[in-house]
Amino acid sequence: MNRTWQFTALSAALLLLAGCGQANPAPASVPAESAGQAADSTTAAPAAHWSYDQEHGPAHWAELETGFSACRTGQEQSPIDIEHARLVPSPTVHPVDIHYSTTPVTVINNGHTIQVNVQNKDNYIMIEGRKYTLAQFHFHHPSEHQIDGKNAEMELHLVHKSADGQSAVLGILIHPGSDNHAFDQLWSHLPDHESEQEVPLADPIQLSKLLPADRHAVHYTGSLTTPPCTEHVSWTVLEQPIELSAEQIQRFATIFPDNHRPVQSVGSRELYTEQ
Protein backbone atom coordinates (compact mmCIF):
# COMPACT_ATOMS: atom_id res chain seq x y z
CA MET A 1 0.00 0.00 0.00
CA ASN A 2 1.57 3.29 -1.01
CA ARG A 3 0.95 6.70 0.50
CA THR A 4 -1.22 7.90 -2.37
CA TRP A 5 -3.57 5.00 -1.94
CA GLN A 6 -3.69 5.58 1.80
CA PHE A 7 -4.52 9.24 1.29
CA THR A 8 -7.18 8.39 -1.27
CA ALA A 9 -8.78 5.77 0.91
CA LEU A 10 -8.71 8.02 3.95
CA SER A 11 -10.15 10.94 2.02
CA ALA A 12 -12.88 8.74 0.60
CA ALA A 13 -13.72 7.59 4.11
CA LEU A 14 -13.80 11.18 5.37
CA LEU A 15 -16.00 12.25 2.49
CA LEU A 16 -18.42 9.51 3.37
CA LEU A 17 -18.62 10.81 6.90
CA ALA A 18 -19.14 14.39 5.87
CA GLY A 19 -21.77 16.78 7.22
CA CYS A 20 -25.06 16.99 5.40
CA GLY A 21 -23.82 14.80 2.65
CA GLN A 22 -24.43 11.36 3.91
CA ALA A 23 -26.97 9.34 5.75
CA ASN A 24 -25.08 6.81 7.87
CA PRO A 25 -22.44 5.84 5.35
CA ALA A 26 -21.91 2.18 4.71
CA PRO A 27 -19.01 0.69 2.75
CA ALA A 28 -21.43 -0.33 0.01
CA SER A 29 -22.22 3.35 -0.61
CA VAL A 30 -18.68 4.28 -1.68
CA PRO A 31 -19.14 6.14 -4.98
CA ALA A 32 -17.81 4.21 -7.96
CA GLU A 33 -15.42 7.00 -8.88
CA SER A 34 -13.80 6.94 -5.43
CA ALA A 35 -13.33 3.20 -5.60
CA GLY A 36 -11.79 3.63 -9.04
CA GLN A 37 -9.29 6.19 -7.80
CA ALA A 38 -8.28 3.97 -4.93
CA ALA A 39 -7.64 1.06 -7.27
CA ASP A 40 -5.54 3.08 -9.70
CA SER A 41 -3.19 5.14 -7.62
CA THR A 42 -0.65 5.62 -10.40
CA THR A 43 -2.83 7.84 -12.58
CA ALA A 44 -5.70 9.13 -10.46
CA ALA A 45 -5.46 12.22 -8.32
CA PRO A 46 -6.10 11.73 -4.63
CA ALA A 47 -9.74 12.17 -3.59
CA ALA A 48 -10.37 15.81 -2.88
CA HIS A 49 -9.78 17.22 0.55
CA TRP A 50 -12.43 19.85 1.18
CA SER A 51 -12.71 22.17 4.13
CA TYR A 52 -14.00 25.54 5.23
CA ASP A 53 -10.66 27.35 4.94
CA GLN A 54 -9.48 29.64 2.12
CA GLU A 55 -7.71 27.17 -0.11
CA HIS A 56 -10.12 24.24 -0.01
CA GLY A 57 -13.15 26.19 1.19
CA PRO A 58 -16.68 26.63 -0.21
CA ALA A 59 -15.57 28.97 -3.04
CA HIS A 60 -13.27 26.22 -4.37
CA TRP A 61 -15.22 23.02 -3.72
CA ALA A 62 -16.25 22.63 -7.37
CA GLU A 63 -12.60 22.78 -8.47
CA LEU A 64 -11.45 20.06 -6.12
CA GLU A 65 -13.12 17.12 -7.84
CA THR A 66 -15.27 16.68 -10.93
CA GLY A 67 -17.90 15.04 -8.76
CA PHE A 68 -18.25 18.33 -6.86
CA SER A 69 -19.32 20.40 -9.89
CA ALA A 70 -22.86 20.90 -8.55
CA CYS A 71 -21.32 23.05 -5.80
CA ARG A 72 -20.84 25.70 -8.53
CA THR A 73 -23.22 24.85 -11.37
CA GLY A 74 -26.21 23.72 -9.28
CA GLN A 75 -29.29 25.90 -9.56
CA GLU A 76 -30.97 24.80 -6.34
CA GLN A 77 -28.24 24.94 -3.73
CA SER A 78 -28.33 25.23 0.06
CA PRO A 79 -28.15 26.99 2.42
CA ILE A 80 -30.20 30.10 1.57
CA ASP A 81 -31.33 33.31 3.17
CA ILE A 82 -34.92 32.77 4.28
CA GLU A 83 -36.54 36.12 3.67
CA HIS A 84 -39.94 36.39 5.28
CA ALA A 85 -41.13 38.70 2.52
CA ARG A 86 -40.66 35.82 0.07
CA LEU A 87 -42.60 33.15 1.98
CA VAL A 88 -45.49 31.60 0.09
CA PRO A 89 -48.34 30.26 2.25
CA SER A 90 -49.52 26.95 0.81
CA PRO A 91 -52.65 24.97 1.65
CA THR A 92 -50.78 21.71 1.12
CA VAL A 93 -48.05 22.48 3.68
CA HIS A 94 -48.60 21.29 7.25
CA PRO A 95 -46.48 21.52 10.40
CA VAL A 96 -43.79 18.88 10.07
CA ASP A 97 -44.81 15.50 11.43
CA ILE A 98 -41.90 14.27 13.59
CA HIS A 99 -41.70 10.81 15.16
CA TYR A 100 -38.57 10.66 17.29
CA SER A 101 -37.86 8.25 20.15
CA THR A 102 -35.08 7.51 22.63
CA THR A 103 -32.18 6.21 20.64
CA PRO A 104 -28.65 4.89 21.18
CA VAL A 105 -26.08 6.93 19.26
CA THR A 106 -22.41 7.14 18.41
CA VAL A 107 -20.44 10.39 18.04
CA ILE A 108 -17.65 11.22 15.62
CA ASN A 109 -15.56 14.26 14.75
CA ASN A 110 -15.23 13.72 10.99
CA GLY A 111 -13.09 16.81 10.44
CA HIS A 112 -16.06 18.82 9.10
CA THR A 113 -18.43 18.67 12.04
CA ILE A 114 -19.47 16.65 15.07
CA GLN A 115 -21.80 14.00 13.69
CA VAL A 116 -24.12 11.85 15.79
CA ASN A 117 -25.10 8.58 14.12
CA VAL A 118 -28.36 7.07 15.35
CA GLN A 119 -28.19 3.34 15.89
CA ASN A 120 -31.74 2.31 15.00
CA LYS A 121 -34.32 3.13 12.36
CA ASP A 122 -37.15 4.06 14.72
CA ASN A 123 -37.01 7.82 14.08
CA TYR A 124 -38.71 9.38 11.09
CA ILE A 125 -40.47 12.43 9.71
CA MET A 126 -43.36 12.56 7.25
CA ILE A 127 -43.25 15.14 4.45
CA GLU A 128 -46.00 15.23 1.85
CA GLY A 129 -46.92 11.63 2.64
CA ARG A 130 -43.37 10.31 2.29
CA LYS A 131 -41.53 8.73 5.20
CA TYR A 132 -37.91 9.79 5.79
CA THR A 133 -35.88 7.89 8.40
CA LEU A 134 -33.30 9.71 10.55
CA ALA A 135 -29.71 8.60 9.88
CA GLN A 136 -27.58 11.22 11.62
CA PHE A 137 -27.49 14.74 12.94
CA HIS A 138 -24.68 17.29 13.12
CA PHE A 139 -23.94 20.94 13.79
CA HIS A 140 -22.70 24.07 12.05
CA HIS A 141 -21.12 27.17 13.62
CA PRO A 142 -22.25 29.75 12.69
CA SER A 143 -25.60 28.76 11.16
CA GLU A 144 -25.81 28.01 7.44
CA HIS A 145 -29.31 29.34 6.81
CA GLN A 146 -29.96 33.00 7.38
CA ILE A 147 -33.23 34.53 8.50
CA ASP A 148 -33.78 37.88 6.80
CA GLY A 149 -30.06 38.22 6.15
CA LYS A 150 -28.82 37.21 9.58
CA ASN A 151 -26.96 34.07 10.65
CA ALA A 152 -27.75 32.42 13.96
CA GLU A 153 -24.97 31.28 16.28
CA MET A 154 -25.34 27.65 15.27
CA GLU A 155 -27.55 25.27 13.32
CA LEU A 156 -28.56 21.66 13.89
CA HIS A 157 -29.15 19.46 10.83
CA LEU A 158 -31.06 16.20 11.16
CA VAL A 159 -30.46 14.16 8.00
CA HIS A 160 -33.10 11.67 6.83
CA LYS A 161 -33.43 9.25 3.93
CA SER A 162 -36.51 7.73 2.35
CA ALA A 163 -36.68 4.09 1.32
CA ASP A 164 -36.11 5.15 -2.30
CA GLY A 165 -33.01 7.17 -1.44
CA GLN A 166 -34.40 10.73 -1.29
CA SER A 167 -32.87 13.02 1.35
CA ALA A 168 -34.73 15.32 3.72
CA VAL A 169 -32.95 17.58 6.18
CA LEU A 170 -34.57 19.20 9.18
CA GLY A 171 -32.74 22.42 10.07
CA ILE A 172 -33.01 24.06 13.49
CA LEU A 173 -31.35 27.35 14.32
CA ILE A 174 -29.58 27.67 17.66
CA HIS A 175 -29.57 30.94 19.61
CA PRO A 176 -27.63 31.79 22.77
CA GLY A 177 -29.74 31.49 25.92
CA SER A 178 -30.26 29.08 28.77
CA ASP A 179 -28.23 25.97 29.45
CA ASN A 180 -29.85 23.22 27.38
CA HIS A 181 -29.69 20.05 29.44
CA ALA A 182 -30.96 17.89 26.57
CA PHE A 183 -27.46 18.32 25.11
CA ASP A 184 -25.54 17.68 28.36
CA GLN A 185 -24.47 14.10 27.70
CA LEU A 186 -23.56 14.75 24.08
CA TRP A 187 -21.75 18.00 24.89
CA SER A 188 -19.64 16.32 27.57
CA HIS A 189 -18.42 13.87 24.91
CA LEU A 190 -17.68 16.18 21.97
CA PRO A 191 -14.52 14.77 20.36
CA ASP A 192 -11.93 17.56 20.05
CA HIS A 193 -10.00 15.94 17.24
CA GLU A 194 -10.83 14.37 13.91
CA SER A 195 -11.00 10.60 14.04
CA GLU A 196 -12.37 7.64 12.12
CA GLN A 197 -13.51 6.18 15.42
CA GLU A 198 -17.17 6.50 16.39
CA VAL A 199 -17.62 6.78 20.15
CA PRO A 200 -20.83 5.29 21.59
CA LEU A 201 -22.61 7.38 24.24
CA ALA A 202 -23.45 5.44 27.41
CA ASP A 203 -27.10 6.49 27.52
CA PRO A 204 -29.60 6.75 24.66
CA ILE A 205 -30.64 10.26 23.59
CA GLN A 206 -34.23 11.50 23.82
CA LEU A 207 -34.25 13.00 20.35
CA SER A 208 -37.56 14.85 20.72
CA LYS A 209 -36.01 16.89 23.56
CA LEU A 210 -33.54 18.38 21.10
CA LEU A 211 -36.38 20.03 19.17
CA PRO A 212 -38.35 23.24 19.77
CA ALA A 213 -42.01 22.91 20.76
CA ASP A 214 -43.35 24.69 17.69
CA ARG A 215 -43.20 22.73 14.43
CA HIS A 216 -44.06 25.52 11.98
CA ALA A 217 -41.45 25.58 9.28
CA VAL A 218 -40.25 26.86 5.94
CA HIS A 219 -39.98 24.25 3.18
CA TYR A 220 -37.90 24.46 0.04
CA THR A 221 -35.99 22.26 -2.39
CA GLY A 222 -32.23 22.51 -2.06
CA SER A 223 -29.02 20.56 -1.77
CA LEU A 224 -26.51 19.06 0.57
CA THR A 225 -24.49 21.93 2.06
CA THR A 226 -21.28 19.92 1.82
CA PRO A 227 -19.59 18.40 -1.24
CA PRO A 228 -20.77 16.91 -3.52
CA CYS A 229 -23.63 19.47 -3.03
CA THR A 230 -26.16 16.97 -4.43
CA GLU A 231 -29.56 18.52 -5.21
CA HIS A 232 -33.18 17.33 -4.83
CA VAL A 233 -32.92 17.56 -1.04
CA SER A 234 -36.16 18.39 0.75
CA TRP A 235 -35.40 21.10 3.31
CA THR A 236 -37.52 21.91 6.34
CA VAL A 237 -36.21 24.77 8.48
CA LEU A 238 -38.16 25.20 11.72
CA GLU A 239 -39.24 28.75 12.49
CA GLN A 240 -38.64 28.42 16.24
CA PRO A 241 -34.98 28.20 17.29
CA ILE A 242 -33.63 26.24 20.21
CA GLU A 243 -31.21 27.62 22.79
CA LEU A 244 -27.78 26.63 24.00
CA SER A 245 -25.91 28.60 26.64
CA ALA A 246 -23.04 30.81 25.55
CA GLU A 247 -20.72 28.30 27.23
CA GLN A 248 -22.23 25.39 25.29
CA ILE A 249 -21.88 27.29 22.02
CA GLN A 250 -18.31 28.19 22.90
CA ARG A 251 -17.52 24.54 23.56
CA PHE A 252 -18.46 23.67 19.97
CA ALA A 253 -16.86 26.81 18.53
CA THR A 254 -13.54 25.87 20.10
CA ILE A 255 -13.54 22.70 17.98
CA PHE A 256 -15.12 24.26 14.85
CA PRO A 257 -14.57 28.05 14.73
CA ASP A 258 -16.31 28.14 11.31
CA ASN A 259 -17.87 25.16 9.55
CA HIS A 260 -20.64 26.83 7.56
CA ARG A 261 -21.23 27.22 3.83
CA PRO A 262 -22.35 30.74 2.85
CA VAL A 263 -25.89 31.26 1.55
CA GLN A 264 -26.58 30.44 -2.09
CA SER A 265 -28.87 32.14 -4.59
CA VAL A 266 -32.55 31.34 -4.08
CA GLY A 267 -33.17 31.86 -7.80
CA SER A 268 -36.72 31.09 -8.85
CA ARG A 269 -37.42 28.73 -5.98
CA GLU A 270 -40.49 29.15 -3.79
CA LEU A 271 -40.21 29.08 0.00
CA TYR A 272 -43.40 27.52 1.36
CA THR A 273 -45.04 27.85 4.75
CA GLU A 274 -48.36 26.76 6.17
CA GLN A 275 -51.30 28.99 5.36
Q: Which positions lie near Zn ion, rule CB under 5 A?
A: 19-20, 157
State the minimum distance, in angstroms, from the CB of residue 151 to Zn ion. 14
State the minimum distance, in angstroms, from the CB of residue 82 to Zn ion. 15
**64 within 8 A of 49, measured Cβ to Cβ:** yes
CA 237 to CA 145: how far, in whole Å? Answer: 8
Question: Which is closer to Zn ion, CB of 141 or CB of 157?
Answer: 157
State the minimum distance, in angstroms, from the CB of residue 219 to Zn ion. 17
Dihedral Cα 132, 138, 139, 144, nearest 10 deg: -40
State the minimum distance, in angstroms, from the CB of residue 138 to Zn ion. 6
Question: Which is closer to Zn ion, CB of 94 or CB of 175?
Answer: 175
The helix/strand/coil state of 237 is strand
State the minimum distance, in angstroms, from the CB of residue 156 to Zn ion. 9
Any bridge partners for residue 138, and if so which?
Answer: 115, 157
Question: Which is closer to Zn ion, CB of 20 or CB of 107?
Answer: 20
Question: Which is closer to Zn ion, CB of 157 or CB of 160?
Answer: 157
Question: Which is closer to Zn ion, CB of 38 or CB of 168?
Answer: 168
State the minimum distance, in angstroms, from the CB of residue 173 to Zn ion. 12
The helix/strand/coil state of 3 is helix
Question: Which is closer to Zn ion, CB of 8 or CB of 225?
Answer: 225
Range 213-218, long-range pairs (CB < 8 A, 24+ positions): 213/240, 214/238, 214/239, 214/240, 215/95, 215/96, 215/97, 215/98, 216/95, 216/240, 216/273, 216/274, 217/95, 217/96, 217/273, 218/82, 218/87, 218/271, 218/272, 218/273
